Amino acid sequence: MKEAITRAFEESIQAKRAFLKENLSTLMSAIDAVAEAFLRGNKFLIFGNGGSAADAQHIAAEFVNRFRIERPPLPALALTTDTSAITSIANDYDYKEIFSKQVKALGKEGDVALAISTSGNAANVLAAIEVCKKLKIATIGLTGGDGGKMARQVDYLLRVSEGKNTARIQETHILVGHVICELVDQKLFSA
């Protein structure tokens, strides 16, 4: 048991180190894009499935409420939380459209979207990215492995390439979300 616990921590640390080495510059650019969107009065749309849906809610809450400092609320929206919209879209149209229809309804030029998919191949996430492109909404893709189809579709690709362990990828994703929150706050509210 001790070895399994140690191995899990070591794998998580290694995934984060590799991510930082490969993505630091892109992460900085993505943070700038989110901060600039807020300065313009735009919003941050976040979406994904399963654990990524939970991460979308978590990150949106950090912006709407607060992260580490007291500051005004920032307009971030998890497209994973309105069960009536999600289930009606899935029932009347197709599950593939649960995020894209919400982006069409709520998104506008100048917004930024954070698309989260561990594989980079979630059909509903890819469909929403397509709509973002049409609406001139900048896209940040948070993914793992080789980035899947998402790798070629987003403006800012943040990819956890180390291994294929979904848990390690998702652990890195939430750290990335927290770093985005913290650095956006610093950019917007530090004196």
- Enumerate the domain spans of the chain: 2-189
Q: What CATH fold (topology level) applies to the domain 2-189?
A: Rossmann fold (3.40.50)
Q: Starting at the earlier edge strand, list the strands of the sheet with 44-48.
A: 76-78, 44-48, 112-117, 138-144, 156-160
How do 138-144 and 156-160 pair as beta strands? Answer: parallel
pTM: 0.96
Q: What is the DSSP string of 151-175?
A: GGT-SEEEEE-S-S-HHHHHHHHHH
Q: What is the mean pLDDT of residues 129-152?
A: 97
pLDDT tens digits for range 72-120: 999 999 999 999 999 999 999 999 999 999 999 999 999 999 999 999 9
